[in-house]
């Protein structure tokens, strides 16, 4: 599916310093896509690696995405440096707190929503005028937890991702010139999975925790490459018929974007 795009194409990627976000940014920066990327993350280290590997193609915005000024700065940086925005990948997210509804810390729940959902709204408000101009695309990283209740204790994370799915559907209706798709990347070998294994075992259902620990121990947990390939291709090429919909990255509907 990889096709060359105009070298001036510009994409914003949040959570770009490691894991899935870093991999997505790499694929957008590499040939044949060879786009420009505004990479957003709290850590400068991973962003510096991208800048060194792709000189002249990367602008870094270091900051906590829950501070809405960070998203605004990313939009402003894209326009001032590269002159346009062709698409945004909203990847930044956290999973803490994991707890039951009865025991949850409401303030921690709110903090998760600031990162996983409200930061997206804030950034979109600034970016929509430019995405209209470019007939751009918005890719929202979702999760199976957005609709499955067996993720015991994941109420905060799952509900935030359900909101992400609904946001994609709403954006597709309100902004017909913008293509919005939410994608579930599956269980991947990332720092979030490491956090789950090392910090949250006692707050989860034992069979779910044991499964996640087992696939890591056996080396069968999937790397980020395949979902990163799908998401990077979609933010460049997703057709209107996908707009407003939620898909698993390995669903038949997205098979053509795996290469």
Please identify every residue annotated as catalytic. Answer: 142, 157, 161
For 229, the token pair is: 């390939």
Q: Is 60 left (phi over 0), alpha (psi -120 to 50) or beta?
A: beta
> Residue 60 class from Cβ within 10 Å (0-12 exposed, 13-18 middle, 19+ buried)?
buried
6, two tokens: 């105009």
Q: Cα 100 vs. chain centroid, distance in angstroms?
A: 25
What is the sign of the dihedral through the CA atoms of 259, 12, 245 and 144?
positive
Question: Of 28, 23, 22, 30, nearest to 10 (Cα)?
Answer: 28
Beta-bridge mates of residue 222: 188
Is the distance from CB of 247 to CB of 227 less than 8 angstroms? no
């Amino acid at each position: 599916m990889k096709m060359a795009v105009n070298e001036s194409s510009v994409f914003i990627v949040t959570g770009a310093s490691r894991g899935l976000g870093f991999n997505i940014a790499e694929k957008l920066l590499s040939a044949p896509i060879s786009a420009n990327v505004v990479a957003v993350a709290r850590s400068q280290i991973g962003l510096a690696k991208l800048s060194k590997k792709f000189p002249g193609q990367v602008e870094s915005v270091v900051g906590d995405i829950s501070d809405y000024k960070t998203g605004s700065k990313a939009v402003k940086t894209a326009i001032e440096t590269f002159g346009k925005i062709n698409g945004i990948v909203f990847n930044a997210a956290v999973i803490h707190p994991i707890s039951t509804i009865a025991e949850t810390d409401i303030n921690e729940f709110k903090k998760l929503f600031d990162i996983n959902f409200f930061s997206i709204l804030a950034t979109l408000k600034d970016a929509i005028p430019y995405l209209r101009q470019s007939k751009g695309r918005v890719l929202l990283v979702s999760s199976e937890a957005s609709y499955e209740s067996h993720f015991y204790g994941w109420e905060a994370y799952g509900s935030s991702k359900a909101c992400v799915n609904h946001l994609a559907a709403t954006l597709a209706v309100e902004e017909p010139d913008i293509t919005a798709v939410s994608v579930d990347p599956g269980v991947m070998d990332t720092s979030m999975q490491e956090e789950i294994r090392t910090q949250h075992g006692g707050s989860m259902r034992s069979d779910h925790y044991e499964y996640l620990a087992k696939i890591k121990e056996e080396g069968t947990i999937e790397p980020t490459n395949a979902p990163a390939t799908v998401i990077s291709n979609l933010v460049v090429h997703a057709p209107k018929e996908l707009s407003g919909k939620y898909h698993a990255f390995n669903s038949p509907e997205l098979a053509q974007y795996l290469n």
